[in-house]
Amino acid sequence: MSQKLEQFMSSVLDILYENHKTERALGYVLELLADFAPADMAYLIVVSGDGKRIETVFERTKTCVCTGLTQLEGKPWKPIQAAGEQEPGFVTEVNSFPPAMKSIFIQSGVSSVLQCSVGRQGELTGYMGICDFGREGEPWKENPSMYSAMTYMSRALSVFFYKSRQDVWLMEDQKRLEGSLLQSGLNEDTANVILDQISTGVVVFKMPSYDKLLPVYGNLGQYRMLRVERTAVNSSVPNEEEAKLESRYFADAFAGVHPEDMERVRSAYKARYAERQLKSSGVLKRGTMM
C-alpha cells in the first residue's frame, strides 16, 4: 500500500469520525476523493431506504463546472447494473448509466467517469463517483490504487450512513414512545413506580459530556442488590453524611468503578460518546439513558 493511499484512508476515517453533521462530512470526503484521484469532480448519490427514489445528491467540484446531477433528487430510480460480481460494483462507461443520468453527463461534457456502489450487507445506500470534463482517455480505469481508495471509502460511507439512519430511526421511535406516554397520561413519577416493581436493577442516567455520567433515578431492585437504603429524591441525596455511598454515586456514577478499571471504562465511554452509540430512552425523559 502506497503512503498516499494509506494517508487517504486515514483521512477519510478521521473526517467521518469527527464530523457528525452529514452534509459537512460528505462534502469533506468528496473533496478528499477528488484531490486523491485527481478528478474534476466527485459526487455521491443517496437513494431512499427502499432503493426506488433518489433522496439527495452531493457534488464537489474543483472547477466551475457541475454535472447537474442534483436534478435527479426526488426522482424514481432503478439500481445500476455494475460490472463484476464483488462489491462494490464499478461502472466506467458513461453509456452504462440510466438514460437520465447519461443525458446529464453528456450535456455537461463528462468525458470519463468511475463510479461504485455504496451499501452494507446487500442493502444499497447509493453511488459514489468521480468524473472529468473534456479530458481525453480514462485516467483511473487501470489504476489499482483508485479502486482500492474507492472501495475503502465505499465501505466507510456505508457504515456512516447505516449509523446515521439508525440514529434517525431511534429518534423516531423515541418520539412515538413519548407520544404514547402523553396520550396515556403516564408521567415520569408513574414510570418510576412501575420500574420499582421490577426485580432487576435499573438506573437511569444523564450524560451531558463524555466525562459526566449522572444518575437521575435508581429503582428499588438496584438498591436491594447494593444492600443500601434509598434516600435519593429528585436526583439528589438529602443527607450526604448519612448516605455517603449513594451521594458519591449520584454525584458521579464513575465513582462506582474500581480504580484499576477507571481509565479503561472512561476511555470506552468517551469513544462511544463521540460515536453517539450511547442509546437514549424515550420511556422517561428525552436525553436520558437507561
Listed by start position, the domains of the chain span 3-166, 186-289
- What are residue 111's phi and psi, to 5 degrees? -100, -25
Domain 3-166 has CATH 3.40.47.10: no
Tell me the per-residue pLDDT of 49-88, one tens digit each, with 9 for 90 and over.
777 889 989 998 876 656 788 888 988 887 776 554 445 6
pLDDT category, 283, cuts 50, 70, 90?
Answer: very low
Tell me the per-residue pLDDT of 3-25, one tens digit each, with 9 for 90 and over.
888 888 888 888 887 766 778 88
User: Residue 121 region, left (φ>0) first, then alpha (ψ -120 to 50), else beta?
Assistant: left
Tell me the per-residue pLDDT of 264-278, one tens digit each, with 9 for 90 and over.
888 888 887 776 555
pLDDT category, 30, cuts 50, 70, 90?
Answer: very high
Q: Evaluate if residue 259 carries a pLDDT over 80.
A: yes
Tell whether pTM > 0.75. Answer: no
CB-neighbour burial class of residue 62 (10 A; exposed 0-12, middle 13-18, buried 19+): middle
Alpha carbons 233 and 20: distance in angstroms, whole number: 36
Rg from Cα positions in the chain:
26
Alpha helices in the chain (DSSP H): 3-18, 22-36, 99-108, 144-184, 188-196, 220-226, 244-251, 262-274
Q: Evaluate if residue 99 carries a pLDDT over 70.
A: yes
Question: Which has more pLDDT, 188 or 10?
Answer: 10
